Structure 1
Amino acid sequence: MTQAAAPIPADGLPVTRLAIRGMSCAACSGRVGRVLSARPDVADAQVNLATHRAQVSHDPALTPQALAQIVTDLGYPATVIADRAPPPPDEAPALRRAALTAAALTLPVAVVEMGGHLVPAFHHWLHTLVPMRALWVVQMILTLAVLAGPGRRFFGTGLAALRRGAPEMNSLVALGAGTAFAFSAVVTLAPGLVPAASRQVWFEAAAVIVTLILTGRWLEARAKGQAGAAIRALLALTPDHATALRDGHPVRVAVADLQPGDLVQLAPGERIALDGVLTEGEGHVDESMLTGEPVPVLRAPGDTVTGGTVNGAAALTYRVTATGPDTVLSRIVALVEEAQAARLPVQALVDRVTRIFVPVVMGLAVLAFALWLTFGPDLAHAVVAAVSVLIIACPCAMGLAVPMSIMVGSGRGARLGILFRQGDALQKLAGARVVAFDKTGTLTQGRPRVTQIWTHGIDRDAALRLTAAAEARSEHPLGRAILAKAGGMTLSPAQSVTALPGRGLTAMVEGRSLLIGNAAALQAAGIVPDAALIRHADAASTDGATPVHLAADGRHVATFALADPERPESAAAIAALRNMGLRTQMLSGDLPATAQAMGARLGIDGAQGGLTPDDKLTAIRAMGPGSVFVGDGINDAPALAAADTGIAIGTGTDIAIEAADAVLMAGDPQGVARAIRLSRAVMRNIRQNLFWAFAYNAALIPVAMGALVPFGGPQLSPMLGAGAMALSSVFVVTNALRLRTAA
């Protein structure tokens, strides 16, 4: 026996996205996913019932067109989606036409049949005008029009799935409506084949079943359209045209024709077309679509602007830096789409159930038919029981329960400035127990400034000038703060600049040997600290500032106190997390005294300072399950990756963002609480949907089989079953839409 090839790993493989038509339930999407995942040249396949899309990582030798053909051969026509393709077309208009057509054809059938049951006088009057057999023939023709017209989709897909041995929701509808129609047609055209006691027709049941399910799908498609509004709103933010400068003259051009380096003019109130850098003008820009913050931000020459944001009252000019999929907006859309297509761990339960659900339902329908045929009054009751079981047991609600909540929740997150880079972050964040923050750039503004300078044996300006000259060769944030303080001073070039990792630097400036750094640097160099300067440094540390010492020619001569102001929102962010029952920690590379002072001011449960990236990693691992880390710097990347959920501040480095599971587009740490609230709301919504979907089937399938009849209860009508089935899917989708106002 030939052994199947081992699945290939997903890292570095091409990813193909497919648009798939015809998937109507979890059994459909589950079958597509299983067939793709079973192939040795496919590393990963994620199929989303809510978006009707699949994302497949595969061997380069397997072409996207071949993937699409594999899915098409299963009975679900698939096409390859190009990068940044618009969302799939809205199905609601076509389903609306089908539902209304079916309703128009079904109404006479329902009135003739049900009207006679509800109003006996109407029944007698009608049968005095038209013979009963003639009425049945008219009902049969109208019902056939419903099944062959608007209902053809159920039979084409459902019977094909049956032939492949993979029945799904359409198969149940086709079998149920088809059985009701076939039995009634036999009674109408060949009544001698049916016992006299069982000569009843169920044309109205077959027609109403199709009409109700089409109506349910129409309502479901309308709701799905609302759920996909987030992506459409993001895609609509880029204008079609912009005013570019060509040879110094403004020309109206299509945005698609712009290239990096082009100069674009912005009129007051105009939407920015592409990412760029301001070259002329100064004014406020509304970046709420990007950050969720309503207050416009001042932008001046040299500042970046983002496509999709809105210019204020000033006339501006900017140079294009990114186009197409490289823009911030395109990357945001990509992140939202990836999150919406993700499979949460909870989806595995649904997949296991739906895999066997339809065959079990068909078996129960056969069992109900056999029991009623054996113990019931006649054949008609047996047919009704079997049809009711087939119709009411719809796996649609189960299949939509998880992806619809993810779809709406991810879109809501995008509107709040929260991007889930990994779909399972939506589930993991709901289980958060402790949230750890980096300090600099996360809880602080990331722009330290010099607040105090103390000297001993040197002029204050001289100390600042010498230190700034040495720091001009450094990229450290504290060094830039000292340079900013020395703005306007004439600085001599520094020679022999050597960095001391974790301590500071040494340099030669104006013929003097300088050491600039922390107390550990002084100690390592054998320099005796000045007692008065050390007292000032300790006091500054207690207040949350960072002391930087200057030694010249082996003597400790000055101490600088640098403070990184806290973000105005930091205290409120910590308070919000504590009110949610979460513990908070701060993990900082700054001095322990500085970290602890800031932690006390913000109300953080525990603050640790003096940590290296490895120390942060160890601290995160010690937190156990439910850990969340929030950071913005390159040195935060290991901790962001190690935490159960890593959240990057969007104003931070690209490396930090790549290592995170979620990104806060604004620098506001209050977004952490919003992200956790949204995650909890999504998981609560999923649990509600799953409970409804499972409880609905568990409760109503026995009723449809007739379990209540021996106790004097009713036998469920196939029409009521169709209505309940359609409403179950509509309920799940509508419940998911409540997430549009979450957090």
Structure 2
Amino acid sequence: MSSQIKETSLQISGMTCAACATRIEKGLKKMAGVEDANVNLALEKSIITYHPDMVDDQDFEKKIQDLGYEVVKEKTEFAITGMTCAACATRIEKGLNKMNGVSMANVNLALEQATVEYEPSQASPADIIHQVEKLGYKAIIKDEEKDMIDYRQKEIQKQKRKFIIAAILSFPLLWSMVGHFSFTSFIYMPPILMNPWLQMIFATPVQFIIGKQFYVSAYKALRNKSANMDVLVVMGTSAAYFYSVYQAIINIGEHHAAQLYFETSSVLITLIILGKLFEARAKGRSSEAIKKLMGLQAKTALVLRDGVELEIPLEEVVVLDTLLVKPGEKIPVDGEVIEGNAAVDESMLTGESIPVDKNIGDALFGSTLNKNGFLKMKATKIGKDTALSQIIKVVEDAQGKKAPIQRLADQISGIFVPIVVGIALVTFLVWIIWVNPGAFASALEAMIAVLVIACPCALGLATPTSIMAGSGRSAEFGILFKGGEHLETTHHIDTVILDKTGTVTNGNPELTDVIVEPFVNEQQFLSLIGAAEKQSEHPLAESIVRGIQAKEIPLGSVQEFEAIPGFGVKATVDQKMVLIGTRKLMKQNSVKFSNALSIMEELEGQGKTAMLASIDGQLAGVIAVADTIKATSQKAIKRLKAMNIDVIMLTGDNERTAVAIGSQVGIEQVIAEVLPEEKAEEVKKLQAAGRKVAMVGDGINDAPALALADIGMAIGTGTDIAMEAADITLIRGDLNSIADAILMSKKTMRNIKQNLFWAFAYNILGIPIAAIGLLAPWLAGAAMAFSSVSVVLNALRLQRVKL
């Protein structure tokens, strides 16, 4: 057993008594490598002494979970500046993951963001910030990101100033370089520009003042036993600068011109800073979706306090405040109508262009637009809890998570710099020994070109910029991907399972058919039926009453009422005996209904729920209620089939209704009368057959299947639990969003592959060309800057995708 012993503490939730603490203590002590374990119930904390080569924190966490308890963790997002390439992101990630108490750290180069999951008893945000700064970067908690946004703007301005100064100082050096070529002999060359000491005066500020950021970053990288792009830049430009200084010194008093490379180092630094400036601006644009969403929020709210109307900043609104919303104004926060009515444009939230009528009791969502009425509302959700804030959070999370395809790029970037340094040294030796023996200048030029052309920036930006642009654009279409991995997986889907109620259908039953006997007055019939059903609490009764009231038919007066569970209702309305319900109810009350049986069967064959109604013991008519099909369902299913995707309906409803609904929308495969737990089993069966399954649902009963499917899609009009279990939320509730999500996944993956191809191809082609001496160092610098910018610009094309 190892002699090294460590101590760790874990915060534990779920303990209810001393027996719980004892149970955990005993369980931990039984683990191999654990010397001692002490669990404190009052502090909900355990202190464990252990041998780290035999057991670690993850093992303790699993053991505690197996015993039925949870290790408390917190997740914090940090904005990070100072990263220059994928190697920087990898270095920060590794540094954070090595910290005690940190269970997961994910660093996104394109977003300049780190997401860290940690145990609060062992680590804190301050510790994490200190670790990032120790690695040579700057971090700030994202809740305080306004400071970071200001910092980034200042950084862009600083880089811009540096570029202008570097360009002014490098221009005479570039002019002197032009004089070396025979084909540019027509350009006038002032003799003074060939003076090595004047060239040094121009080059030195560029190398050590403008280029100081590269030296600092390279030093910190090497101090932490890693290498990044700045190591390549520093090696290349320093070699060129110091060799030129050496040449200037040894050629003092000589008549022939020294072989100087001051222009190489200066122009390289100038071009790299220009590339960083373009990249920073482009990366700012790639978060445009979140900025647009944030920009939708109202800035102020009109609140009613103590009978006085006050206009206050949005941040000062509190839950249960009474707010006033005038026509043409944005609704400030989520809430409920308590007075008035209006048509509200919710297109920013749902994608639907038709305004929604809002009356007393209806839900309102912050940032939607009141088109024409005056509303008095009660605030129910503010700040981070509003629907818009939740959407922004999902988009940010998706942009911050890595897609599996990015792991390959990260692994390559992590080992890339040392390999390039090795190739550069080999290039130098091959040139000075074999290609051009003794020609130090030629060997140096080839080595510098290799160092500069090999920048792995494009490789590191290839995936995250596409994920950012793709998930941001999807959000504008009302499709929220919860992570980059889901954006990648979705394009593999070959089978879509649809829940029926609330997914294919609207989820709200409506009165669809009223068929009365010849001797019955329809208006009087509906007046009696509506009055009787108004007393019932059954959902179908509510649908019937709603349908009758929509026809503006006054309801009769009820003298007696009785609900008969499983059969229907019995009531006395306007002194008439009214029965509404099943065949059994009619038989029990000796009502003859044989002539209505064929009508009932026909209605039921259409997926409707048919009920018989009698007045004073005589059959008066048949009424039918149905959950109507969404207007877009049939077209959406046809579209999925055209994409060679199998569509299956999975429902707990009876088979006849399910088959009828399926036939109306074009679904041949219908699995009916399925319990919630059986839905997940059906998903498993398809996965076992090698299918990539997307489950689309909206209810609590769909949650297990949504979680189990390769991709779970929750209808945004459904329950919070369904949305929590799903990987994608379709805000509009329109099934066309399924095909849109798959198409956005395909377009994003194609964009990522294009970026990776060009990033790899650029390095694979560029390094050999530089090594054989066909690429001047300054051209290598320009090409390197262009490669990073081109990758970002290609990713930004996703923001113009039309579906």
TM-score, scaled to structure 2: 0.82
Secondary structure at 1:630 match in 2: strand
1:316-715 matches, cutoff 5 A: 316-377=375-436, 378-452=439-513, 464=529, 468=533, 471-472=536-537, 474=538, 476=539, 478-485=540-547, 488=555, 504=566, 535-547=598-610, 560-624=623-687, 625-706=691-772, 715=774
> Structure 1 CA distance, aligned partners of 2:404 and 2:79?
23
CA distance change for structure 1 residues 402 and 497 in 2, over 3 Å: closer, same or farther? farther
CA distance change for structure 1 residues 219 and 646 in 2, over 3 Å: closer, same or farther? same
Name the counterpart of 2:45.
none
Name the counterpart of 1:160.
220
CA distance change for structure 1 residues 92 and 590 in 2, over 3 Å: closer, same or farther? same
Name the counterpart of 1:709.
none
TM-score, scaled to structure 1: 0.88
> Structure 2 CA distance, aligned partners of 1:160 and 1:652?
51
> Structure 2 CA distance, aligned partners of 1:437 and 1:599?
10
Q: Give unpaired runs (5+ residues) of structure 1.
A: 499-503, 707-713
CA distance change for structure 1 residues 656 and 144 in 2, over 3 Å: closer, same or farther? same
> Structure 2 CA distance, aligned partners of 1:704 and 1:437?
56
- Alignment check: 8 A CA contact 1:400 1:729 kept: yes
> Structure 1 CA distance, aligned partners of 2:189 and 2:274?
32
1:258 shift after superposition: 1.4
Secondary structure at 1:447 match in 2: strand
Whether 2:204 is the aligned partner of 1:144: answer yes
Structure with larger RCO (C-alpha < 8 A, sep 6+): 1
> Structure 2 CA distance, aligned partners of 1:385 and 1:292?
56
CA distance change for structure 1 residues 682 and 12 in 2, over 3 Å: closer, same or farther? farther
Task: Please give the per-residue CA displacement for 1:118-153, whole angstroms capped at 9, x wherever unaligned.
Answer: 5564688533x56x4xx2212222111112233221
- Alignment check: 8 A CA contact 2:297 2:367 kept: yes
Name the counterpart of 1:6.
57
1:572 shift after superposition: 1.9
1:12 shift after superposition: 5.4
Name the counterpart of 1:81.
142
Instruction: Give percent identity, aligned residues only.
Output: 37
> Structure 2 CA distance, aligned partners of 1:549 and 1:361?
83
> Structure 2 CA distance, aligned partners of 1:143 and 1:116?
18
1:6-25 matches, cutoff 5 A: 6-7=57-58, 8=61, 13-25=73-85
Q: Which amino acid aligns with 1:277?
A: E
Whether 2:114 is the aligned partner of 1:54: answer yes
CA distance change for structure 1 residues 551 and 421 in 2, over 3 Å: closer, same or farther? farther
> Structure 2 CA distance, aligned partners of 1:493 and 1:390?
92
> Structure 2 CA distance, aligned partners of 1:665 and 1:646?
14
Task: Please give the per-residue CA displacement for 1:633-661, whole angstroms capped at 9, x wherever unaligned.
Answer: 12111221121111111111111111111
Task: Please give the per-residue CA displacement for 1:329-368, whole angstroms capped at 9, x wherever unaligned.
Answer: 1111111110110111111111221121111111111111
Task: Please give the per-residue CA displacement for 1:699-736, whole angstroms capped at 9, x wherever unaligned.
Answer: 11111111xxxxxxx52111111111111111110000
> Structure 2 CA distance, aligned partners of 1:151 and 1:493?
91
CA distance change for structure 1 residues 97 and 66 in 2, over 3 Å: closer, same or farther? same
**Worse-superposed segment, 458-467 or 82-91:** 458-467
Q: Which amino acid aligns with 1:117?
A: F
Task: Please give the per-residue CA displacement for 1:287-330, whole angstroms capped at 9, x wherever unaligned.
Answer: 22212222322222222221111221333322221111111111
- Alignment check: 8 A CA contact 1:516 1:551 kept: yes
Which residue, 268, 277, 287 being the options, matches 2:336?
277
> Structure 2 CA distance, aligned partners of 1:407 and 1:257?
32
Aligned residues: 718
1:427 shift after superposition: 0.8
CA distance change for structure 1 residues 490 and 348 in 2, over 3 Å: closer, same or farther? farther
Q: Give unpaired runs (5+ residues) of structure 2.
A: 3-50, 63-69, 550-554, 573-577
1:227-238 matches, cutoff 5 A: 227-238=286-297
Superposed CA RMSD: 3.6
Q: Which amino acid aligns with 1:97?
A: R
> Structure 2 CA distance, aligned partners of 1:506 and 1:84?
60
- Alignment check: 8 A CA contact 2:384 2:390 kept: yes
- Alignment check: 8 A CA contact 2:424 2:450 kept: yes
CA distance change for structure 1 residues 446 and 311 in 2, over 3 Å: closer, same or farther? same
CA distance change for structure 1 residues 85 and 277 in 2, over 3 Å: closer, same or farther? farther
Q: Which amino acid aligns with 1:3?
A: P
Q: Which amino acid aligns with 2:472?
A: G
Secondary structure at 1:440 match in 2: helix
Which residue, 271, 275, 284 being the options, matches 1:225?
284
